[in-house]
Structures are given as structure tokens and as C-alpha cells.
């Protein structure tokens, strides 16, 4: 029997549909080209045993099962009988596979969906249906694909508030490495992407496989290798006991899991994720955004905000966002959440004077919300104490003087939809910043664990609001980067990458968050000269060069800036606008630069490219390693010139003084002479193909 093969962009997924059970995954990795055909399966079958799409002990898989559950404590092992396979695939173009299976004795039916897009990214999800009379309790249902024995190293990420996406590496030995999240949101410490690769893999070299759970609630990512040899990567929703109980005819569908492979390091795997998101939801031009939070906090004096807007417009900023503090009782962060009415005492004429002034200056207007949260000191909770996500007999532990609204409760959902819809309509909002500032503790909805229902309700609320206001843009913020995943990105236009605007920390945060999120969807702002999180003071040029490579914005009290600072900021804003067609459409490349004191990265299109060398600390070596530029066409000839102000440096090579022309082969292999930059400076340069 010939295998069922999905292939695109150098990637192949090979399914063995022989036998009566679920298809077995014989290969996920490089396109096998001419080897495809009837003779392929016997060759692959003689290698490491292949698990089926949903592995179980009946398939000789003795690791984590793909499905776990019970019927009121009773257990009947599931052995799937394949009912049908529907496939639409063309060599080199990807395709889809849908597999339906059942186990009459267990009283369950299963549908497995796989798709490979034109960029070679594989997405997978399962739908489980209970067809028996008794309830079935779903304890876990995950998506997994195998990786070969040569994947001997794992990379995942951890972090905390204001320092997200900290990498950690280890050997991929036998057993399970599991990253489990029970915070009710994606989490500051969420891995985002779990990577397996050949030992020593980097951004530009080595073979890597990676998985991402596209889900904004509790979730898990895991890597497992059995003593018999098979290994796999898996991901899915993490369910609490009793959270999903299927009555007769009811179904549970997993979130999408995203699988990516690359034969050329992390950049190749990352590019597939970026391409998929860009194709699924293309975005308009990303306006440079000013958020007033770190400028004014809860001080909403109209004159001060008007002056801030004037300064922003003079610097070339295109969008003004009014952050926390505009609604009733919100003079500090301990009251008012949930009371989504403009505070009449602070804004007697509503927000119209500010919104009209902002628009006369040529800027868009946006507003901050935190819809899923409520303060106990609020009119809403005094009127509806039963709307909290928890048990009425015992309030969940507070965080940030907040509780969580039960969005799966129809009355709470209807209230939020009406308030959001009304305010977006009244002020013709272009943009909302949707925040989520605490982990969810002891969530109970209708007597059962509530994160699953809460996450789905949040998705419904976002979807309905966008349906009513198709041009509205939404930013997902969650104490910074605590809700960054492809589930929320399917419904929003960008994520707030971190609450830290410290450019030195941001260099690493954006570098690693960018594996999952393309630049145009990563909020990246020029912070104040003295960062309010870390206390570090950094020069404007370094702060701006860091913000340049994302969805650029400003979070700084411009009324306190000097005329010289405002003029310099305007230069950087203008530079971002000029380079935006490259930065927000090209392929992100990150050099495996040998100097650990500096980062070299860029964004490349066929005809243009933009790169930055960020000098983080002092160099140890006297001689600087050359700047070998990845991602260029070796046969192309490029003109290289500095973009933006020249940084402070002990030495600048000749090419920084005027354009030079070199081939892509020379730039990639030999590189450019490196400047001797001082710590906390960056050099931005651009290339144009001639």
C-alpha cells in the first residue's frame, strides 16, 4: 500500500494507513522526494516503531496515552477502528487529512484532523464524541507527532513578570519532559514553543522539530522518549478532573496544536509559524502607537493628556491609546474594575474632548479594558457577587485586589458585550488594549473547574466584538506577555510582549518571543530614559533601535522630554515608517553570532533587508567578530548603508561612512567588519539589492 503523504516547502508528513486502526506517523521532517512510493513504507517500517495519531497501549505505546478518561470510575481501554480517511493533498502544496474512527465497546468516536499549509507547517486537532448512554469524563486528549532518535536536545522557555521567554536547554533522554501550566492563562513562565533538535542546533544550523499549543487557558507541552526507542512531541489542553464530562452525543474538541520542522535551525521553524499567521490574518499597516500609562498613570487631567497628544503627533506618532483610569471609581488599582462607564467626575463631557483632539491631530484613538476582571470594590460586584468565577461559599484568593468574572455565565457575558460594544461604538474606537492582569485561582463554573469554559467564553466575546466592529484592532495584554499564543493571536492583532520597556532586557525577550510571533504583532515601545521596572537608564538611540524591530510604539512622558530628545525620537519614528514594509513582511533572521556580548539579527525580503547589531555588554575579545549576515541570496549584490543615527563607538569601520556593494555570498560567509560599539548601543543598517 502506498503511504499518504503531505508535503510542502521542503517538509513531509508520511502516514501509514495499512491495517484497521488509526494511521501511524512514519515520518515528519525533510521532504523525501523521489523516495515516495509503494516501496517507502517497508523501508520506514523497518526503522523505529511509529506511534499512531493517538497512541495507546493497544498500539504497543507504553508512554503518555493520547486519550485518558473514564466512565464514572470505570475504565475500558480504547482500541480504535478506522472508519474512513478523507485526504486532499498535492505534492509540494500541502493538504488535509481527516480520519474518523470509533470503538463501539468503549462508546466513543474520534475525528483526527491534520493540515499542512503551503509553508510546511502542520496543524492538528482531535474531536472526541461520547456515543454511549453513560457520561464520559475526559481527563486528557493531546496531539503528538514523532521525532527521530537524532533529536537529542530540548529547548524550552520559562520566565516571570517583566522577564518573559528565558531559554533553557537540556539533553533529550528517556522519559517525559513536561511543561504544565495551571494559571488559567498562558502564563509568564509558559514555554510557548517546545523544541527538540540535533545536539548543538542554533538559529541557522541543525535540524529542529517544535510544537506549540494554540490555547490561552491551562495547557501542556511535553517531549517523551521510550526505552524501546520511539520519541515524540505533544501538546494540548490541561484538564482538571470533572472539567469536561460528555453526556450522550456531546463532543470535546482539542485546541489546534502547531508542529514545525526545519533543516536549517530555529529560524526555519520560526518562519513557518510566522507565514501561517500572516496568511491566516493579514494586517493593515501597523500605526506607531503611544500608550499613556507610564506617562500619566492614573492622572487623567485633560490638559496634560492633550499636551501629551500634541507632543506625540509632532513626533510622527499615529495612534493614541488611553490606558487604565478612565472609568468609574478608578483613581487607583484597587477599585472600579467591572464598572465600564466613563467616570463622570473626571470626564464630565465623556472622552469626546480627548478623542476629538487626537483625531484632529491625525491620530487614531484607542482605549484600555480589562474585561475578565473585577474589583470587589465595584458597583458591579456589589450588585452581582455571584458573578465571580469561584464558589459562592468561599471567595478565591485575591491577586492585585482583583477577582475573575465568570464569562461563561450568560448574564456576565451579556453585560460585558453590551458595555464593550457601546463604548467602541460611541467613541468610534480604532483600537482596544485588552488586559488580563492576574492568574486564575480556584476557578469554579457551575460546580466544576472553570478554565475551559472561561477560555471559550473569552474567545466568543472577542469574536463577537470583532464581528460587530470589523475594523477594530485588539491588542492582547496580560501583565505583559502572559497570554501569548496562537489561540489569542487568531482573534487579536498584536500582543504586548512584556511590561518591561527596559531595552536591554527587551532585546532577549523579543528575540525569543519572536520565534512564535512575527514582528508586526509584537508590541515594542520606546520607554522612558529611566525604566520604571528595572530602574536602569538607557540612551534613547538604544531604546529606539530595540523598539524599531516590532510593532513600534512609545510609552514615555513626552511632556518631560527635551526638544533634542523629541527631535531624535521623530527621526526614529520616521525611520520605522520607512522601513516598515520590510520589518513587517520579511523573514526574520538571527545570526549565531560568536560574540556573546552582542546580538545580530535582521529581517529580509528578496530586494531589501534591515539588520541591527545590539551591543549588550562590554566585549571580552579585543578584536570583534565579523558581522556575517544570514538569509541573503548568495548570487545577489547588495548595497549596504547605515540607517538612522550612528551610535557611540570606539571605532567605526569604513563601510559605516558610506554605501558599499558586496555579494550575498561575501556578506553571508565573510561578513562585514564589526564596529567597536560601546555597551547599550545598537547599529541599524539596511541593504538594497542592486
Q: From residue 496, give the alpha-carbon distance in Å to each of 460, 478, 483, 488, 500.
A: 21, 7, 9, 12, 10
Phi/psi at 42 (nearest 5 deg)?
-60, -40
Length of the chain counted residue by residue: 690
CA dist., res. 645 & res. 485, Å (int): 35
Dmax over CA atoms of the chain, in Å, equals: 79
The alpha carbon torsion through 358, 359, 364, 368 (nearest 10 deg) reads 50
Q: How far apart are CA 379 and CA 102, in angstroms?
A: 51
Q: Which of 133, 290, 265, 284 is nearest to 210 (CA)?
A: 265
**Ramachandran angles phi, psi of 602, nearest 5°:** -165, 180
Task: Considering the candidates 499, 502, 505, 531, report the single residue annotated as catalytic.
Answer: 499
Residue of 275, 435, 485, 531 with catalytic role: 435
CA 417, 418, 419, 424 dihedral sign is positive
Cell numbers representing residue 678 in the block = 560601546
How far is it, in rounded angstroms, from Cα 508 to Cα 408? 37
Strands 473-476 and 431-434: parallel
- Cell triple for 368: 484600555
Annotate 509-536 with b (16+ C-beta within 10 A) or e (fewer): bbbbbbbbbbbbbbbbbbbbeebebbee
- Judging by beta carbons within 10 Å of its beta carbon (0-12, 13-18, 19+), is residue 75 exposed, middle or buried? exposed
Please give the Cα distance from 353 to 156 (Å, whole number): 48
Question: What are the residues facing 352 on neighbouring strands?
Answer: none
Q: Is 349 noted as a catalytic residue in this protein?
A: no
To the query of whether residue 406 is one of the catalytic residues in this protein, the response is no
Alpha carbons 331 and 309: distance in angstroms, whole number: 21
> Checking DSSP bridges between strand 194-197 and strand 153-160, what pairing results, if any?
antiparallel
- DSSP letters along 222-269, please? EEEE-TTS-EEEEEEE-PPTTSEEEPTT-EEEPPPEEEEEESS-HHHH
Catalytic residues: 435, 499
Amino acid at each position: 500500500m502506498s503511504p499518504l503523504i503531505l508535503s510542502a516547502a521542503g517538509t513531509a508528513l508520511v502516514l501509514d494507513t495499512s491495517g484497521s486502526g488509526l494511521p501511524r506517523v512514519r515520518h515528519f521532517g525533510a521532504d523525501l522526494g523521489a523516495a515516495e512510493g509503494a516501496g517507502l513504507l517497508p523501508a520506514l517500517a523497518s526503522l523505529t516503531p511509529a506511534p499512531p495519531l493517538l497512541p495507546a497501549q493497544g498500539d504497543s505505546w507504553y508512554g503518555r496515552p493520547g486519550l485518558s478518561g473514564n466512565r464514572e470510575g470505570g475504565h475500558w481501554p480504547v482500541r480504535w477502528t478506522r472508519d474512513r480517511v478523507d485526504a486532499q493533498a498535492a505534492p509540494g502544496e500541502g493538504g488535509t487529512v481527516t480520519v474518523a474512527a470509533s470503538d463501539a465497546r468503549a462508546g466513543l468516536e474520534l475525528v483526527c484532523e491534520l493540515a499542512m499549509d503551503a509553508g510546511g507547517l502542520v496543524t492538528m486537532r482531535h474531536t472526541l464524541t461520547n456515543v454511549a448512554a453513560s457520561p464520559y469524563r475526559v481527563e486528557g486528549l493531546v496531539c503528538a507527532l514523532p521525532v527521530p532518535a537524532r533529536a537529542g536536545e530540548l529547548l524550552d522557555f520559562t520566565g516571570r513578570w517583566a522577564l518573559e521567554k528565558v531559554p533553557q536547554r537540556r539533553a533529550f533522554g528517556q522519559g517525559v519532559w513536561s511543561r504544565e501550566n495551571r494559571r488559567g492563562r498562558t502564563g509568564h513562565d509558559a514555554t510557548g514553543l517546545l523544541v527538540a533538535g540535533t545536539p548543538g542546533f542554533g538559529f541557522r544550523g541543525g535540524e529542529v522539530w517544535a510544537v506549540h499549543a494554540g490555547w490561552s487557558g491551562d495547557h501542556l507541552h511535553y517531549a517523551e522518549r521510550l526505552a524501546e526507542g520511539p520519541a515524540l512531541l505533544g501538546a494540548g489542553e490541561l484538564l482538571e478532573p470533572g472539567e469536561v464530562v460528555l453526556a450522550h452525543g456531546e463532543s470535546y474538541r482539542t485546541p489546534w496544536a502547531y508542529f514545525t520542522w526545519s533543516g536549517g535551525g530555529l529560524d526555519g521553524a520560526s518562519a513557518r509559524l510566522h507565514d501561517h499567521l500572516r496568511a491566516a490574518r493579514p494586517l493593515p499597516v501597523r500605526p506607531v502607537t503611544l500608550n499613556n500609562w507610564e506617562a500619566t498613570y492614573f492622572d487623567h487631567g485633560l490638559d496634560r493628556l492633550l499636551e501629551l497628544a500634541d507632543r506625540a503627533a509632532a513626533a510622527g506618532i499615529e495612534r493614541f491609546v488611553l490606558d487604565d483610569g478612565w472609568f468609574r471609581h478608578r483613581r487607583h488599582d484597587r477599585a472600579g474594575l467591572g464598572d465600564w462607564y466613563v467616570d463622570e467626575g473626571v470626564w464630565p463631557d465623556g472622552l469626546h474632548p480627548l478623542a476629538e483632539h487626537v483625531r484632529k491631530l491625525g491620530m487614531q484613538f484607542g482605549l484600555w479594558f480589562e474585561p475578565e476582571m473585577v474589583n470587589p470594590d465595584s458597583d458591579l460586584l456589589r450588585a452581582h457577587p455571584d458573578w465571580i468565577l469561584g464558589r459562592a461559599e468561599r471567595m478565591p484568593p485575591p491577586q492585585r485586589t482583583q477577582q475573575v468574572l465568570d464569562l461563561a455565565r450568560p448574564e456576565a457575558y451579556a453585560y460585558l458585550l453590551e458595555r464593550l460594544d457601546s463604548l467602541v461604538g460611541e467613541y468610534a474606537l480604532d483600537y482596544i488594549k485588552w488586559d488580563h492582569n492576574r492568574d486564575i485561582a480556584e476557578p469554579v463554573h457551575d460546580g466544576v473547574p472553570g478554565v475551559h469554559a472561561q477560555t471559550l467564553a473569552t474567545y466568543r466575546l472577542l469574536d463577537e466584538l470583532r464581528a460587530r466592529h470589523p475594523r477594530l484592532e485588539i491588542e492582547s495584554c496580560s501583565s505583559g506577555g502572559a497570554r501569548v499564543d496562537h489561540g489569542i493571536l487568531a482573534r487579536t492583532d498584536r500582543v504586548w510582549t512584556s511590561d518591561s520597556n527596559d531595552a536591554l532586557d527587551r532585546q532577549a525577550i523579543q528575540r525569543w518571543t519572536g520565534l512564535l510571533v512575527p514582528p508586526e504583532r509584537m508590541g515594542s515601545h520606546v520607554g522612558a530614559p529611566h525604566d520604571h521596572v528595572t530602574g536602569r537608564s538607557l540612551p534613547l538611540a538604544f531604546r529606539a533601535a530595540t523598539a524599531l524591530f516590532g510593532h513600534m510604539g512609545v510609552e514615555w512622558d513626552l511632556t518631560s522630554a527635551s526638544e533634542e530628545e523629541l527631535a531624535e525620537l521623530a527621526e526614529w519614528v520616521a525611520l520605522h515608517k520607512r522601513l516598515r514594509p520590510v520589518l513587517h513582511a520579511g523573514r526574520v533572521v538571527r545570526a549565531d553570532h560568536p560574540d556573546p556580548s552582542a546580538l545580530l539579527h535582521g529581517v529580509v525580503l528578496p530586494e531589501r533587508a534591515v539588520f541591527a547589531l545590539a551591543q549588550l555588554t562590554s566585549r571580552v575579545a579585543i578584536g570583534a567578530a565579523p558581522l556575517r549576515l544570514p538569509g541573503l541570496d548568495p548570487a545577489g549584490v547588495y548595497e549596504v548603508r547605515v540607517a538612522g543615527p550612528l551610535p557611540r563607538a570606539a571605532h567605526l569601520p569604513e563601510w559605516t561612512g558610506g554605501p558599499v556593494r558586496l555579494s550575498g555570498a561575501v556578506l553571508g560567509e565573510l561578513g562585514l567588519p564589526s564596529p567597536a560599539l560601546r555597551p547599550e548601543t545598537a547599529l541599524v543598517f539596511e541593504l538594497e539589492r542592486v
